[in-house]
Amino acid sequence: MIWHIKIDEILSSYKDRSDLIPILQRLQEKMGWLSTPVLQRIEEKTGLSGAEIFGVATFYAQFRFKPQGKNLIKVCHGTACHVSGVEKIEEALRQELAVKGDEPTDDGLFSLERIACLGCCALAPVIMINKKCYGKLEPNKIQKVIKDYK
């Protein structure tokens, strides 16, 4: 299977336990999320138990176990963003894109994720789409921001 070849390439760099998290990160970057077959393949290739791998992966907020949209929107909920009203931004985003919880949109274009702090507090409230930051947002600016990704 093609996806096996892709992930085996990444898995071949596994030497010891300390490579587990970097490997999970690279697999997620490649596949978008960590599916059960992918986790099983890690088990086969590394010799670690499934419980160990799943235990580590679920501990860290970065890892996802559901498919995500093509574009990942991270909404910052840090102190500065909280004080400057990021709740309203998230509400506007959810309404505009019709996303519920952490499910991707119906067209598969977007997923939304709440993040503890992006560290761009001067620009609060802030969101990050893929690797790009958008700051000083207001609910009525949301449409313009996401237009570029449609």
Compute the least distance from the CB of residue 75 to other proteins, in Å.
Answer: 12
Nearer to other proteins, 24 or 73 (CB): 24
| Three-state SS letters, 90-125 | HHHHHHHHCCCCCCCCCCCCEEEEEECCCCCHHHCC
d(CA 95, CA 143): 10
Binding site residues, other proteins, CB under 8 A: 16-22, 24-25, 55-56, 59-63, 74, 77-80, 82-85, 115-124, 126, 131-136
Of 19 and 105, the one with the shorter C-beta distance to other proteins is 19
Contact indicator for 42, 11 with CB cutoff of 8 Å: yes
Q: Which two tokens stand for residue 58?
A: 């679920």
Least Å distance between CB 123 and other proteins? 6
Q: Smallest distance from the beta carbon of 65 to other proteins, in angstroms?
A: 14
Identify whether the C-beta of residue 77 lies closer than 8 Å to the C-beta of residue 117: yes
3-state secondary structure of 127: strand
Judged by CB, which is closer to other proteins: 98, or 116?
116
Report in angstroms how near the CB of residue 78 gets to other proteins at its nearest: 4
Nearer to other proteins, 35 or 85 (CB): 85
